[in-house]
């Protein structure tokens, strides 16, 4: 994140519901947790490095989240049946 | 967490040393698309590669960094790695997937009963697993007499497993039908259920009877006397012979019906259809000569007289 407009970016992402921080009000970056920060970084890499546009960002986030969930559940099931 | 890669960043990005800044950027982007760890979760090699690409891009991605690198100021660069990492677009902190591996907040939206749950997938997976460890099904063949197939029967057969099995043949069974005996196939692996045994029925054709759906067809020879005068003839049925009344003046090929002697089906029973075939005595049989004489007389009467036979 560019330091100048870090908070503005965070507010924009919250408004678009790309991130949903635990706390209802964010006044400083330090109030975000690791998950939020990694997600913000992913969004920025998608946009800046991978050339993803604003419309595609939520779609990609949704699919990535589904994939993570699937991996998590498969691992959990395998552990349980082992 | 800074990778001190000694390799040539141009090589890592797959561009020449004289490539334009735009070319470098494009090369970086296309490699990043391919190797971004969040697009390749669980693939450690992609993460390593992505870090290499990132590190290479940090070294030559901006005109300032690139001129430093080209001047050979690698030591300063490594020294400044951390500072630069913060000011530049290089990846810092954990990757997003790493925060979701233990079931993160964001990916949890897809768990449980909510939309997009993967329960359907797991159910299918479990069934598949169960099937693959389940014992194999076994197919047996069994010859059944025509009568037994119509009326039903009970048999005992010995399975490949050595077990004896009582087989109830249901009345009215047709050739090719399979009887299923759950759990009588090969045993399963590791506590999985055994397969099933199937017994395929092969109904042997009968020289007397022919099946036609619910009905049974038979052909019965009768003498010329019975055909002309009528009378009772013995007719075979699957339950033994019965007497059938043949009406006078029947022709060869005529069909008579015996109700309820056919094939049981759905609580009802079909009929036996009797086809009449008139059989004359053989040549040389004294019966034949008598018959010939009688017919000759009858013929003469009907040809000479004017309907005299009727008037008498």
- Residues of chain B contacting residue A37, judged by C-beta atoms under 8 Å apart: 93
CA distances from B259 to B214, B237, B256 (A): 11, 11, 10
Superfamily of domain B138-203 in CATH is: Urease metallochaperone UreE, N-terminal domain (2.60.260.20)
> Residue B202: which of B287, B142, B157 has the closest Cα?
B142
Q: Which of B33, B92, B105 sits opposite A50 (nearest CB)?
A: B33
The interface residues of chain B toward chain A in range 223-242, judged by CB-CB distance below 8 A, are none
CA distance to partner chain B, nearest, from residue A66 (Å): 6
Q: Do residues A66 and B107 make contact, with C-beta atoms less than 8 angstroms apart? A: yes
Q: What does each of the 312 residues of chain B score in pLDDT, given as a tens digit?
A: 454 545 789 999 999 999 999 999 999 999 998 999 888 888 889 989 998 998 899 889 999 989 988 888 765 555 455 444 444 446 778 889 888 888 888 888 776 554 456 778 878 877 777 777 888 889 999 999 999 999 999 999 998 888 899 999 999 999 999 999 998 888 888 777 888 999 999 999 999 999 999 999 999 999 999 999 999 999 999 999 999 999 999 999 999 999 999 999 888 999 999 999 999 998 889 989 998 999 999 999 988 765 544 544
User: How far is A50 from B44, CA to CA, in rounded Å?
Assistant: 20
- Among the four given CATH numbers 1.10.287.110, 3.40.50.10420, 1.10.10.10, 3.40.50.11540, the one describing domain B9-131: 1.10.287.110
Q: Do residues A52 and A22 make contact, with C-beta atoms less than 8 angstroms apart? A: no
pTM: 0.49
Q: How many residues does chain B have?
A: 312
> Where do the structural domains in chain B lie, given as residue ranges?
9-131, 138-203, 210-306
* Residue in A with minimal Cα distance to B111: A69
Query: Which residue bears the tokens 């559940």?
Result: A73
Q: Using the beta-carbon criterion (under 8 Å), do B92 and A42 form an inter-chain contact?
A: no
Superfamily of domain B210-306 in CATH is: Urease metallochaperone UreE, N-terminal domain (2.60.260.20)
Asked, colleague to colleague, whether B9-131 and B210-306 share their fold, the answer is: no
- Residues of chain B contacting residue A1, judged by C-beta atoms under 8 Å apart: none
Reduced to 3 states (helix: H, G, I; strand: E, B; else coil), residue B153 is: strand
Reduced to 3 states (helix: H, G, I; strand: E, B; else coil), residue B262 is: coil
* DSSP annotation of A49: I
Question: Is B36's Cβ below 8 Å from some Cβ in A?
Answer: yes
Reduced to 3 states (helix: H, G, I; strand: E, B; else coil), residue A37 is: helix
- Residues of chain B contacting residue A44, judged by C-beta atoms under 8 Å apart: 89
The interface residues of chain B toward chain A in range 153-212, judged by CB-CB distance below 8 A, are none
């Amino acid at each position: 994140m560019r330091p100048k407009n870090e908070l503005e970016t965070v507010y924009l992402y919250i408004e678009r519901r790309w991130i949903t921080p635990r706390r209802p009000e964010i006044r400083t970056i330090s109030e975000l947790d690791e998950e939020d920060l990694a997600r913000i970084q992913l969004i920025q890499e998608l946009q800046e490095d991978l050339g993803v546009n604003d419309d595609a960002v939520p779609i990609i986030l949704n699919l990535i989240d589904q994939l993570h969930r699937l991996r998590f559940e498969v691992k959990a099931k395998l552990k349980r049946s082992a | 967490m800074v990778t001190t890669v000694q390799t040539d960043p141009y090589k890592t990005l797959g561009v020449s040393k004289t490539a334009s800044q735009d070319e470098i950027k494009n090369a970086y982007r296309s490699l990043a698309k391919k190797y971004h760890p969040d697009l390749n979760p669980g693939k450690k090699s992609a993460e390593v590669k992505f870090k290499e690409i990132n590190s290479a891009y940090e070294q030559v991605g901006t005109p300032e960094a690139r001129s430093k690198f080209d001047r050979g100021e690698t030591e300063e660069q490594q020294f400044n790695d951390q500072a630069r990492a913060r000011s530049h677009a290089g990846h810092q902190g954990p990757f997003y997937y790493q925060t979701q591996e233990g079931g993160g907040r964001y990916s949890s939206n897809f768990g449980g009963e909510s939309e997009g749950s993967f329960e359907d997938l797991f159910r299918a997976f479990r069934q598949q697993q169960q099937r693959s460890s389940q014992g194999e099904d076994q197919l047996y063949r069994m010859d059944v007499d025509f009568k037994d197939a119509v009326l039903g029967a009970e048999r005992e057969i010995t399975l490949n497993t050595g077990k004896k099995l009582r087989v109830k043949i249901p009345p009215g069974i047709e050739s090719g039908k399979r009887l299923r005996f759950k759990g009588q196939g090969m045993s399963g692996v590791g506590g999985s259920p055994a397969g099933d045994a199937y017994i395929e029925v092969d109904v042997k054709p009968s020289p007397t009877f022919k099946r036609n759906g619910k009905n049974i067809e038979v052909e019965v020879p009768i003498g010329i006397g019975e055909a002309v005068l009528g009378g009772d003839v013995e007719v075979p049925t699957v339950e033994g012979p019965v007497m059938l009344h043949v009406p006078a003046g029947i022709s060869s090929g005529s069909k008579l019906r015996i109700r309820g002697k056919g094939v049981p089906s759905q609580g009802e029973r079909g009929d036996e259809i009797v086809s009449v075939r008139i059989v004359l005595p053989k040549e040389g049989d004294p019966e034949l000569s008598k018959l010939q004489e009688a017919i000759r007389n009858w013929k003469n009467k009907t040809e000479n007289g004017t309907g005299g036979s009727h008037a008498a």
